[in-house]
Structure 1
Amino acid sequence: MSMFFNPKLVPRLPNGFHSRSLLPQIRVVVRLLSESYSTDRCVQDRESYTVSYLINSCGLTAKEALNSSRKLHFRSAEKPDSVIAFLRSHGFTNAQISNCARTHAELLVYNPSKVLLPKFNFFHSLGISNDELPQFVSTNWKVILISLDKGMLPLHKFLKDEFNLDDKKIALCIKKSAWYSGKDMLSSLAANISLLRELNVRELSLLHLVCNVINILLAKPARFKEFVNKVIDMGFVPQKLTFVQALCMFSGTSNSMWEVKVGIYREYGFSENEFQMAFKLHPLCIGLSEKTLRLKMDFLVKKMGLKPADIARMPTVLLYNFEKRIIPRCSVIEMLRSKGLLKKEVSISTIAYPSDKCFIDKFITMNCETLPQLLCILQGKSIIPNVKSSVSLLDS
């Protein structure tokens, strides 16, 4: 002790206390700092081990492993090894397991026999075969996070009682609802369906919502009612399919994205009335991505010379497959026009709407001797220069 402390050299404190009396407090601070450093070092070691495991055992990149390691930590490979072994025994590929580690790494420390196996057995009972299970789960790993007793089983009973769906369709509904983490999922679903039934929405439309976009029906009832009222205020009739389509677009599109989409229509010359006309005729026209909407508008307005009013009267043209239907047919019309074989201008509805047989009978059969390449153009085997660039853009 004399090497570190000499009482004669320690000054008196103003209050009369000897500074030696501070030694216990100093020792406590030193110990706390030491423990803190030790804890930080342990955390760093644990994180380092987790990152290394995710890279070496799950095939993640260093950046992916670092991001995933924020969701879980482990000091040994026992738990994640058991999960990976369990998944492989059920037919999951290395790529699917890597996807799990990348998007829902927390599943790697679940208890396979207590958490995973009961849910896998439940999916099997709904008709998901052993071969189908890996694809079924890996396309939305969140489905594993749903509680079996509090989520899956009650939802299964509700959908069976209300809509008499078969088990396999119910399994898909459960997977699509996996994004929802609230405790009142079932009460929200029941309340929103009840509201639509009060408005006399057709049962077929309700089935469409439940089977294809059930997430819309899981919104908080007050919020869902706002969407419903907004759609009604726009003039949509609840008994028609367009009502359900408009409801899907409103509830699935943020206000900011809605403004972006409307802005694109304006860029191509749509007036407010023309946009409203297009949306009321086919609400799904607002659901196209920004890139796809711009490319299709470029082709129709700039290359084909259509006016916004033409598209507004038939917004379905935006939803057809451009590569296989619209561009080949427009190419045929452009070829006929360039050769002076069109007696009058052709509307976009006449181009896009008819079946392949009707289109061939109307535009190709009577001109096949003069222009034998027309059928190849329609089949996409040959594209005229005026539209070739549009095809490459839409394929990208």
Structure 2
Amino acid sequence: MTLFRVEECRGEQPFASHASSRRPKSLQRQIAEALRTATQASVLFPWKLRLYSLFQPKIEYFQLLGFHGPELGELLSKNGILLGCSLNKTLVPSVKCVRQIVNNKKDLIKVLQRYAEWIIPRQQRVLDNAAFFKSCGIVGSQLSFLIKKNARLFAMRESLVRNYVSRAVNLGFSVNSRMLVHGLRTISSMSIVKFNRKLEIIQSCGFSRDEAMQMFRRTPGLLGRSETRLKFKIEVFLDKIMLPKSLLVNNPVILMLNMEKRVIPRWRVLKLLISKNLLMNNPSFLRVLHMREEKFLEKYIS
């Protein structure tokens, strides 16, 4: 194994003796850029290949997948395993495996950028876990959604994956329901302690444990917010906008909306129009929140 340190990788000199004059310059620049990206971040990057010529087939393969320029350099610098594993025995079969799950090339690139080091060396686990998710009703676009949001799930031991699914079912998500994938994504991204702490945040705002669980089951992503942000949003709706708690329990999805760009501005506009008696009927604020931006501007601003 060779370690290329910062002072050794400032240019393309380490490769000069190996580079053939017939190699395209763009290829040389992309490999050099990958090394510079790694070293500029003060990373000791472990290159497992001894000869420059061994880089070429993999670089060309990544180019065919859609990686170019800085994007390619970033991929290689963050995922050293990509240049250290076998092209035909590991890389190509693993990418083919992911391709069967994601919807398109754009999603494939996104998954590899974020999770390559997790999924590339664990091809069989990815296949086995994907098959298990399908048996639970997580198929098609939902399976693609899950690997984009948390590909680590696909690389875990099957026993751990089954435990997560069991937890989701115990929390009220049915197998074969469309909400299972969302519940699974949320609970697999945090510890049980953190999960319970976020439920306690909701309860501290005046909701019962049962109401907090109803909100989670209706909008699982709600617990993906930070504790501070979650509390802030609930308090704005209850204390400033004065919405009844029952409305939040039944429509927790509005807590996912951007407060500064959507909720508070629309509330202020509506409040002003009502105070000046410019509306024939007071509209439902919930309906106003769900309006498309163009429709809202046309109806209340223009």
Amino acid at match of 2:112: I
Deviations 1:173-229 (A, max 9, x none): 23332342895x222212211112222333221122234432222221101001111
1:283 aligns with 2:283: no
Percent identity over paired residues: 21
Q: CA deviation at 1:265?
A: 1.0
TM-score (norm 2): 0.77
- In structure 1, distance between residues paired with 2:71 and 2:37: 18
Q: CA deviation at 1:148?
A: 4.1
1:293 counterpart residue number: 230
Decide which moves more: 332-341 or 162-171: 162-171
Amino acid at match of 2:93: P
Q: Please tell me whether the aligned partners of residues 119 and 148 of structure 1 are also in contact (alpha carbons under 8 angstroms).
A: no
Deviations 1:221-247 (A, max 9, x none): 101001111112223233333210110
**1:296-311 residue pairs with structure 2 within 5 A?**
296-311=233-248
Closer, same or farther in 2 for the Cα pair 1:354/1:135, shift >3 Å? same
- Partner residue of 1:240 out of 153, 163, 177: 177
Deviations 1:290-330 (A, max 9, x none): 23223322322221122332212111111122222211111
Decide which moves more: 238-247 or 124-133: 124-133
1:172 counterpart residue number: 110
- In structure 2, distance between residues paired with 1:167 and 1:102: 28
Q: Of the two structures, which has the highest relative contact order with CA contacts closer than 8 Å and spacing of 6 or more?
A: 2
1:127 aligns with 2:70: no
- In structure 1, distance between residues paired with 2:141 and 2:126: 17
- In structure 2, distance between residues paired with 1:308 and 1:115: 63
Q: CA deviation at 1:348?
A: 4.2
**1:1-396 residue pairs with structure 2 within 5 A?**
77-78=7-8, 80-81=9-10, 89-90=29-30, 97=36, 100-102=39-41, 104-107=43-46, 113=52, 117-130=56-69, 132-137=71-76, 140-141=78-79, 144=82, 147-149=85-87, 151-160=90-99, 162-163=100-101, 166-167=104-105, 169-180=107-118, 185-340=122-277, 347-360=284-297, 364=300, 374=301
Q: Please tell me whether the aligned partners of residues 215 and 250 of structure 2 are also in contact (alpha carbons under 8 angstroms).
A: yes
In structure 2, stretches of 5+ residues that fail to align are 16-26
Amino acid at match of 1:306: L
- In structure 1, distance between residues paired with 2:114 and 2:178: 21
Q: CA deviation at 1:259?
A: 2.4
- In structure 2, distance between residues paired with 1:323 and 1:119: 45
TM-score (norm 1): 0.61
Deviations 1:356-378 (A, max 9, x none): 3443565x2xxxxxxxxx55xxx
Structure with higher Rg: it is 1
SS in 1 for 2:198: helix
Closer, same or farther in 2 for the Cα pair 1:317/1:286, shift >3 Å? same
Q: Please tell me whether the aligned partners of residues 3 and 44 of structure 2 are also in contact (alpha carbons under 8 angstroms).
A: no
- In structure 1, distance between residues paired with 2:256 and 2:262: 11
Closer, same or farther in 2 for the Cα pair 1:244/1:75, shift >3 Å? closer
Decide which moves more: 211-220 or 313-322: 211-220
- In structure 1, distance between residues paired with 2:74 and 2:102: 25
Amino acid at match of 1:177: Y
Deviations 1:90-128 (A, max 9, x none): 29879x946654363234897572675554332112122
Closer, same or farther in 2 for the Cα pair 1:357/1:122, shift >3 Å? closer
- In structure 2, distance between residues paired with 1:295 and 1:76: 45
- In structure 2, distance between residues paired with 1:303 and 1:316: 18
- In structure 2, distance between residues paired with 1:92 and 1:146: 16
Amino acid at match of 2:68: S
SS in 1 for 2:234: helix
Q: CA deviation at 1:277?
A: 1.4
